[in-house]
Amino acid sequence: MRRVPLYSSSGRSGLPGSPGAAPAPGESEARPAYASRASGARQPPATLRAPRRAATLFASAARHRRALIAAVALAAAASVALRLAAPHWPARIAQEDIDAAVLQSLQTASLPSPAARAYEIIRPAVVRVRALEAPRAGHAEVERSVGTGVVIVDTGTILTNLHVVAGAPRVRVEFADGLESDASIVALEPDQDLAVLQAKSIPDDLAAATMRSTRDLAVGDHVAAVGFPFGIGPSASAGVVSGLRREFRSPEGERLLTDLIQFDAAANPGNSGGPLVTADGEVVGIVTAIMNPTDQRVFIGIGFAVPIETAARSAGMSPF
């Protein structure tokens, strides 16, 4: 703030010997302000001296009033400056404020379902598996069966079910980006209905699934089955783990599968070989079979998956 200069309204210069200066030592304080009687000049009458004295007092008061106003203005400016320079500490947030904010977010935000999150995570690693007849010149491809597989190594190693590819002269896989490739069977685990495929060509950015141990898997945990039921897909269905360490005998009675994960997410022919995943999109099993006491091969609420530990060993891997 620019300070305004203060000017004195008094006629005194303050220098010794000047008109109106303070008396020098030895001089009488009664010396007249104009001229001495010896000079023959007349003294101003008392009626003129009183107004002069009053004017002097008013001038002094005005001078002090301006000084006071300037001092107050400076103090106000300093107070504002200090207030602006002082640190502003945030107000303490109570737990009730946090709870209210979280509740408002849950009420206003649209959160994806656990199955939707799981599907988005696993989708890049899910492949369609087709078992084909031997090609014949001049004839279209003949599809023997269709199933699902899941990439477990980003070099093109795929887990699926043995019954999807068994006896097929030719196997083709289709990746998430649409790329199709022939695949060869590199390992079999008949006791657990498992097969390991190796794709001959793969996408540049092929993603592999994350596998998770079933040690802490519990009945009631959310799971999703992702695959190509009846060749339609990729499709996702959600459910829960409904049992552990189950046994299942194939309808033909050829093999007894043991230590299976039971689940109630919808699965149908074509889901075979696909991943059973947690809400985090991690593979805990390979969908293998469905239970149906009738002759119809449709889902009625009970499906089975081979634990991923068993399936990974089929591929020569021991991740757990």
> Domain limits of the chain?
117-314
State the pLDDT at residue 94.
Answer: 85
Active-site residue, selected from the candidate residues 181, 235, 242, 272: 272
Active-site residue, selected from the candidate residues 163, 222, 235, 314: 163
State the pLDDT at residue 20.
Answer: 46
Q: Is residue 161 within 8 Å of residue 193, measured between CB atoms?
A: yes
Active-site residue, selected from the candidate residues 193, 221, 237, 264: 193
Q: Where are the alpha helices (DSSP H) in the chain?
A: 46-85, 95-108, 114-122, 162-165, 308-314
Residue 180 main-chain phi, psi, to 5 deg:
-110, 145
State the pLDDT at residue 255.
Answer: 78
Is 264 one of the catalytic residues? no
Is 272 one of the catalytic residues? yes
Q: Which amino acid is at 82?
A: L
Of residues 250, 256, 257, the one with CA closest to residue 286 = 257
pLDDT in tens, the chain (320 residues): 443 333 334 444 444 444 444 444 444 444 444 434 444 445 555 554 555 555 555 555 555 566 667 666 776 666 666 666 656 566 678 888 888 888 887 777 777 889 999 999 999 999 999 999 987 777 778 889 999 999 999 999 999 999 999 999 999 999 999 999 999 999 999 989 999 999 999 999 999 999 999 999 999 999 999 999 999 989 999 999 999 999 998 766 577 899 999 999 999 999 999 999 999 999 999 999 999 888 778 899 999 999 999 999 887 876 56
Q: Is residue 126 within 8 Å of residue 291, measured between CB atoms?
A: no
Task: Say how far apart CA 180 and CA 128 lie, in whole Å.
Answer: 9
State the pLDDT at residue 21.
Answer: 45
Q: In terms of CATH architecture, what is 117-314?
A: Beta Barrel (2.40)
Residue identified by tokens 């009053």 is 54
Task: Say how far apart CA 194 and CA 288 lie, in whole Å.
Answer: 8
Is 213 one of the catalytic residues? no
State the pLDDT at residue 173.
Answer: 97
Model's pTM, two decimal places? 0.67
Calculated CA dihedral for residues 273, 275, 276, 280, nearest 10 degrees = 180
Q: Count Cβ atoms below 10 Å from residue 252 Cβ, excluding itself.
A: 7
